[in-house]
Amino acid sequence: MRMRYLAPGLGLALLLGGGWLYLQQPDLWKRLEQHVGHALRSIPARPPTAGDGTPASSIPVPDTPAPVARETFALPPELPERHTPYPKVPPRLRPVPPAHVASLVDSIYRQAETTLSYNPAYLEIAYPGGDVDPSFGVCTDVVIRAFRTKGVDLQQAVHEDMRRHFRKYPQKWGLRGPDTNIDHRRVLNLMTFFERKGKSLAPISDNSNDYLAGDVVIWQLNEKQYHIGVVMEMRSYDEERPLIGHNINAGTRIEDVLFDWPIVGHYRYFAPEPTRQAGLETDKRSSLGQAGELR
């Protein structure tokens, strides 16, 4: 207990004694400060060293180049819109399809924005003019929906032809009669219908220029599966092939797939009216005749 208060007591006594001595003998404190300062100044200073103990005076210091005056340029208040070194790819303009298939081709562009999935399920639909939900479908639905913009209901047309000539159509599904829910949605039935209506273009051509906007193409994917699509007016980036509007397991898309699979059918259901073509030819001949007379 006594030791606890001994150190603070001695400190307090020294402080009070020092204060009393300073008041009684001020000259003594001045001489003491002078002796202490002289002693501190007489201690030699340790020279600075590097991290390994080498004196700093022996470390070579590289020459610092003199600052060079440089011209400065103020930045523009706003960066230009194109500040990337990579050029932008110019957008492709959609070509205008021929007038007689314009509504058909345009409808497939709309389908590509709406029909986003593939669903081959058997579904009951209305008749005539029946359709599954526009958000999904199969490859034949692309053709069926496009043809309706031209006033052709393949559901009704195929059904009426099958009702009269059922045995002329493929007998692959064990049916005893037509079915308005599914007949027109089968590729082989559409192939038979187009051929019976005289719309087939034979022989099959490997020249891409023979495939015009609005034509229907059928491919054989394997021994059991067939696929169908519509020729578009827009062409591939190399301008070698027309694009195809189709749905193969991923919704309606417009892609460069004309020669991706073996073509087994090529059909042109809609063609320019013969009378209109004749009228154009007549006008052309008359204009040429007038030009000859002017000469």
| Reported confidence tier of residue 278, pLDDT bands at 50, 70, 90 | very low
Is-contact 245 254, C-beta < 8 A?
yes
Mapped onto helix, strand or coil, the DSSP state of residue 220 is strand
Residue scoring higher pLDDT (57 or 226):
226
Over residues 158-172, mean pLDDT: 97
Backbone angles phi, psi at 265, to 5 degrees: -160, 135
Predicted TM-score (pTM) above 0.75: no
Minimum mean pLDDT range among 64-68, 224-228, 254-258: 64-68
| Reported confidence tier of residue 71, pLDDT bands at 50, 70, 90 | very low
Using one digit for the tens of pLDDT, what is the confidence trace for 14-32? 666 666 666 666 666 666 6
Report pLDDT for 21. 61
- List Cβ neighbours of 159 (8 Å cut-off, separation of 6 or more): 127, 128, 178, 180, 183, 184
230, 34, 257, 12: which is closest to 140 by C-alpha? 230
Going from N- to C-terminal start, the domains of the chain cover 99-275
Identity (one letter) of the amino acid at 124? E
Minimum mean pLDDT range among 130-144, 157-171, 281-295: 281-295
DSSP-derived letter for residue 152 is -
Using one digit for the tens of pLDDT, what is the confidence trace for 33-49? 666 566 556 655 555 55
Identity (one letter) of the amino acid at 138? V
Residue 89 has pLDDT above 60, yes or no: no
Minimum mean pLDDT range among 89-93, 106-110, 211-215: 89-93
Residue 151 has pLDDT above 70, yes or no: yes
Over residues 185-200, mean pLDDT: 98
| Reported confidence tier of residue 243, pLDDT bands at 50, 70, 90 | very high
**Would you state the CATH architecture of domain 99-275?**
Alpha-Beta Complex (3.90)
Please tell me the distance from the alpha carbon of residue 152 to that of residue 161, in angstroms, as a whole number: 14
Residue 201 has pLDDT above 90, yes or no: yes
